[in-house]
Structure 1
Amino acid sequence: MEQFAVSSSLDKAKGEELDLTHIFETYYKRIYNYIYYRVNSNEEAEDLTSQVFEKVMLKINTYSNCKSPFEVWLFAIARNVINDYFRSLKKYNWFSIEKIKELISRESNPEDIVLTAETNDMLLKALRVLNDKERNIVALKFGGNLKNKEIAEILELTESNIGVMLYRIMKKLKVEMEREV
């Protein structure tokens, strides 16, 4: 009887490992994109994405589908990791020379560098007109590839409110981008 219990617990552990592998393979890119939209750095996005999946691994037993869909739970963890990251930056207000080098070294020819820099500058200037809540909604929508309903659950707002906010945000960005041209 004890041998069955041991093999049963081994099977359960293997099942959980497969589930975590499936979760990682299914959601990694979307979580990474969401985080990248918020932090605008490959290295930071990779580190923070790793933190998200580490927390998922540690807290998977606390998830309850009665409370919210898994995707909403997962992106809520990601949002909290990002918030912690930004809080830590406020304590240590610094920038990395490596980030500047990365931006410069990514492009291969001067023409590409100029075009990319102009487009990025326009977009960054346009995004600066948004407040933190609006930037978070944009990151969830386009970085996380979430539906309005899922964003609403994460932010504890109504789906129609998210739709209206996204419409206004996109309109605000469009006006700002056109102003730059």
Structure 2
Amino acid sequence: MEQFALINPLDKKETKEKDFTYIFKTYYKRVYNYIYYRINCTYTTEDLTSQVFEKVMIKINTYSRDKSPFEVWLFAIARNVINDYIRKSKKHKFFSIDSFKNLISKEKNPEDVVMLSETNNKLSKALNILNERERNIVSLKFGATLKNKEIAKILDITESNVGVILYRTMKKLKIEMERED
């Protein structure tokens, strides 16, 4: 008597759901931070982060280990989502509601709140003087906490070029922050 193995099609779906849950839990905070560094608005960042993971879920079958590490592929998707958003919103200038939210504080010491707010404002102004490439690299480095090697793969430039750009950008930010004082 022959035995037939019954294959439950849900088994594969459950495995994919587990894989995607792992991906989401592992990378959400880094993708969120990367986008926030570029956009500087909590609500927009949340929306764009969800778009990134939606695209990852839809296009996971197109990922190839031979082409690049998963992390590089994921942040390339994030970069494209941000670029699409920026292109669409160039027609309209928005102000961030987060700037008003920062004025309302739950902390008891008003001096600390003012100092933190001033520092954040200075940093935001300083980041605005950066060109798109510099801001993107700073976002990948400090928002997504990627290594220079991974950033180089995403942007298709050399690792040493990433280091040089980061060094010059940090120097430019420092000068701008000091000038604000």
Q: With structure 1 as the length reference, what TM-score do the two structures score?
A: 0.90
What do residues 58-84 of structure 1 show as CA deviations (whole Å, max 9, x unaligned)? 110111111111000000000011111
Distance 1:2 1:85, change over 3 A: farther
Summarize the Cα distance change of 1:132–1:2 in structure 2 as closer, same or farther, 3 Å threshold.
farther
Alignment gaps of 5+ in structure 1: none
Once the two structures are superposed, what CA deviation does each residue of 1:119-153 show, in whole Å capped at 9, x if it has no partner?
11221222222111100000000000000000000
CA contact (8 A) 1:34 1:139 kept: yes
Q: Deviations over 1:91-129 (max 9, x none)?
A: 333335x44432322454532332122111221222222
1:137 paired residue number: 137
Deviation at 1:41, TM superposition (A): 1.3
1:41/1:31 Cα in 2 relative to 1: closer, same or farther (>3 Å)?
Answer: same
Aligned residue identity for 1:155: L
Q: How far 1:178 sits from its partner (Å)?
A: 2.0
Q: Which runs of 5+ in 2 are unaligned?
A: none
Question: Where does residue 18 of structure 1 map in the other structure?
Answer: 18
Q: Following superposition of structure 1 onto structure 2, how do residues 1-181 of structure 1 map, counting pairs within 5 Å?
A: 4-5=6-7, 7=8, 9-95=9-95, 98-106=97-105, 108=107, 109-181=109-181
Measured in 2, the distance between the counterparts of 1:10 and 1:2 equals 18
The 1:10/1:3 distance shift into structure 2, 3 A limit, reads farther
Displacement of 1:23 in angstroms is 0.1
Answer yes or no: is the 8 Å Cα contact 1:63–1:73 preserved in 2: yes
Give me the whole-angstrom Cα distance separating, in 1, the residues matched to 2:172 and 2:101: 30
Structure 1 residues 83 and 45: CA distance shift in structure 2, 3 A: same
Question: Compared with structure 1, are the counterparts of its residues 131 and 84 closer, same or farther at alpha carbon in structure 2 (3 Å cutoff)?
Answer: same
Q: Is the 8 A contact 1:151 1:162 kept in 2?
A: yes
Task: State the secondary structure of the residue aligned to 1:4.
Answer: coil
Give 2:103's aligned amino acid.
I
SS at match of 1:91: coil
Output the aligned Cα RMSD: 1.8
Comparing 84-93 and 19-28, the one that deviates more: 84-93
